[in-house]
Amino acid sequence: MIADELASQLATLERDGLTRSVRTLASPCGPRAVVDGRELVSFASNDYLGLASDAALIEAAIAGAQEWGVGAGASALVSGHFAPHAELERRLAAFVGRERALLFGTGYLANLGIVPTLVGRGDAVFSDRLNHASLIDAVQLSRADSHRYGHNDIGMLERLLERSSARRKLILTDAVFSMDGDLAPLPELFSLAERYDAWLVVDDAHGFGVLGPQGRGSLAHFGLPPSPRIVHMGTLGKAAGVGGAFVAGDASVIDWLLQRARSHIFTTAAPPLLAVALLKSLELIAAGEARRAQLAALATQLRVGLTDTRWRLLPSPTAIQPVLVGDNHEVLRVAAGLAERGLWVPPIRPPTVPAGSARLRVSLSATHTSEHVAQLLAALRELEHAAK
């Protein structure tokens, strides 16, 4: 029976410590979360700048709803592209220093739109082994030949490019890797893209708003110049605090996506009220140096506080600070122990991360305080001593 097969597969996930569950919050996104009737300090959100519940964005969203209603009514190419959407695309392109930008419903949809639109059968994609699931799925949809190189392994990537006879080539990478928190070597990747005449598609989901001057993203962080071969994807539901995503690049690239990206053409546009809120978010991101400085200070506090403990932090210069545990069941026990002490830190297990590398994903926000991080450090030290 089909149902029996599913039950068996679910039992295997349970045995291996790999089952997932949904936590329902009874509070807005912020540094404290009410979960199952308990208030916890949350290190589980990607709201890096603390904008998701910012009063200015809430006021902008209310004003947007009053002027534009709460729905778009259709896809952007039918009747769902409103004046706030157009203004947001103009402002995003200018903010990241590209000619044009195109809005998508989510970062996942943006990635599913980019890759199959730029390459197909007979072409080749060269993808970092730790890329996000949306990029992996996008490659499969494209039907291009897939080549995966070792994480940030420039030498291996060059060898693959050198051997390729594909008519079109595309290098595909996260800018900030979401489960490790480290950065892609974007200058070296761009150099290879130039040398081998390839596209360079950069998923900046966890860099936009946090890295670079005024939070303009990972490309600005590395000082990369505008180039027709670079396609920049950024999400708007993490540091920007709202929702959606954008793709920015050369005008011809954006025009081609507008004509061919199925995940843009065949989906209802986001409510214009969100675009109004995001226009305010861009202002706050540009003026957010104090927020970014707070993030850096909290990351330093965490790293220094764990130096003489068993807890090993992966090398990360970003708001994502993973604590490597290893075993699936052990990471679940540690996460449960933190929850008992009033802290919510999500345990991350395969297939999200490689087997044997289960971890606690500590995600910092500018709205966290040094007291919050001190509470986390104290709890981790308690759990360390309890395990001895």
pLDDT value at residue 33: 95
Residue 3 is predicted with a pLDDT of 77
Per-residue pLDDT reduced to its tens digit, 250-285 = 999 999 999 999 999 999 999 999 999 999 999 999
Residues annotated as catalytic (active site), given as ranges: 178, 206, 238
Residue ranges making up the domain that contains 108:
55-286
DSSP conformation letters of 119-159: --TT-EEEEETT--HHHHHHHHHHT-EEEEE-TT-HHHHHH
236 and 319 both lie in a single domain: no
Q: What is the mean pLDDT of residues 345-374?
A: 95
Is 230 in contact with 249 (CB distance < 8 Å)?
yes
Q: Give the annotated binding-site residues for pyridoxal 5'-phosphate.
A: 107-108, 178, 206, 235
Residues 163-177, mean pLDDT to the nearest whole number: 97
Q: Which residue has the higher pLDDT, 14 or 110?
A: 110
CATH number at 139 reads 3.40.640.10
Residue 6: inside a domain: no
144-166 average pLDDT score:
98
Cβ–Cβ under 8 Å, residues 302 and 364: yes
**314 domain-assigned:** yes
- Considering the domain architecture, whether residues 63 and 81 belong to the same structural domain is answered as yes
Q: Would you say residue 81 lies in a domain?
A: yes
Decide which of 286, 302, 333 is a domain's last residue: 286
pLDDT digits (tens, 9 = 90+) for 34-76: 998 899 999 999 999 999 999 999 999 999 999 999 999 999 9
For residue 274, count other CB atoms closer than 10 A to its CB.
Answer: 27
What are 100-112's pLDDT values in tens digits?
999 999 999 999 9
- Residues 88 and 36 occupy one common structural domain: no
Is the same domain home to 265 and 294? no
Please count the structural domains in the chain.
Answer: 2
Domain contains 13? no
The CATH number that applies at residue 366 is 3.90.1150.10
The pairing of strands 100-104 and 245-249 is antiparallel
Q: Residue 190 pLDDT more than 80?
A: yes
Q: According to the model, what pLDDT value does residue 306 have? A: 94
pLDDT number for residue 275: 98
Q: Is 11 domain-assigned?
A: no
User: Lowest-confidence range among 46-55, 82-91, 348-357?
Assistant: 348-357
pLDDT at 388: 55
97-140 pLDDT, tens digit each: 999 999 999 999 999 999 999 999 999 999 999 999 999 999 99
Residue 387's pLDDT band (cuts 50, 70, 90): low
Average pLDDT over the chain, rounded to an integer: 95
Binding site membership: which residues? 20, 107-108, 132, 178, 206, 235, 352
- How does residue 223 score in pLDDT terms, banded at 50, 70 and 90? very high
Q: What is the DSSP letter of 326?
A: E
Question: Residue 101: in which H helix or E strand, if any?
Answer: strand 100-104
Alpha helix stretches (DSSP H) within the chain: 2-15, 55-68, 83-96, 107-118, 133-142, 154-163, 186-195, 218-221, 251-260, 262-265, 272-286, 289-305, 328-340, 370-387
Which residues belong to the annotated binding site for substrate?
20, 132, 352
